Amino acid sequence: MHTMPDSSPVMLQGTILRQRQFVGLSLTQASYSRGLELPKHSHQHAYFCLVVNGSYEEHVQGTRLRCAPRTVLFRAAGESHSDLFDAPGCGCLIVELNQNWLDRVYEHVGPLKTGSFRGGAMARLGFELYDEFCHMDEASPLAVEALALELIVEAARRHKKGAVRAFPGWLDEAKNVVDKEFRAPLTVAGVAASVGVHPVHLARQFRKAYRSTVGEYIRRRRITFACREILRSDTPLTEIAMAAGFSDQSHFSRTFKRLTVKTPSLYRLDSRLKRW
């Protein structure tokens, strides 16, 4: 899954959907067809891999690892492994880390160990990075670097705590419901019912995994949506508020300012000034 110009040719057998270079970082979205086998190989650069959809099997250090959706892997530079894409298609986001950039980060957190992380904060950060990558704007380079740094810090903390805790599959399903329907009038009880668990159990597990209540997570998603609409269009703010899932303009403005430190109108004005 290595896609830098000096990549091992074996990794280019996947289909590169999009790629973007940043200072110290390279992001690539790639897909891999069923039946593809990548023989033993290594990568010149350390990287994170987020499994967006599908799954595959990786053989590393004498073990077999099933890489399912919402899995984030970290692999150090030069580490040998092989991959088997035995599911009906697989999509990944690869975040390669330039060694000079990574060395500066390691001065603060220490070297990262190879590891895999299922769900939780790592998956949340990975998908925020994926969303940023898919919807680029003038602030994206800074956002991408900040999210990559958060991934490294979170991985370092998880290693220091010992074994990585796995969260139940239904929690991933619940988050997927929220991610798809965040603009709708969702309730914790409704989301819990859709995955067959008690609302209190959902609320507790969601907070543990994503360090946020369900309600606050929905609000953040709505404001992220609103920010993008404000940057992309001249749609009236009242219409954007409704489209984002807010039924009250004043509630929208208060929430927007709390999460962005700006009112929606000032956010729009600043974005236009930057374009000029």
Quick: pLDDT tens for 84-117: 998 778 999 999 999 888 888 888 878 888 888 8
Residues 182 and 94 in one domain: no
Domain boundary, last residue among 160, 180, 197 = 160
Instruction: Look at residue 4 and tell me if it is in a domain.
Output: no
Instruction: Look at residue 86 and tell me if it is in a domain.
Output: yes
- Residue 43, burial from CB neighbour count under 10 angstroms (0-12, 13-18, 19+): buried
Residues 142 and 216 in one domain: no
Residue range(s) defining the domain that contains residue 16:
9-160
Q: Per-residue pLDDT tens for 53-90?
A: 988 999 887 788 888 888 999 998 888 889 999 877 89
pTM: 0.59
Does 29 score more than 90 pLDDT? yes
Residues 69 and 205 in one domain: no
Mean pLDDT across 30-47: 89
Cβ atoms 172, 120 nearer than 8 A: no
- CA distances, 88 to each of 2, 33, 34, 94, 157 (Å): 21, 7, 5, 19, 34
Strands across the sheet containing 90-97? 15-22, 25-32, 90-97, 46-54, 71-75, 115-118
Query: Coil, strand, or helix at residue 91?
Result: strand
Which two structure tokens, joined as six digits, stand for 111? 């070297």
Q: In total, how many domains does the chain have?
A: 2
Residues 114 and 247 in one domain: no
Does 255 score more than 80 pLDDT? yes
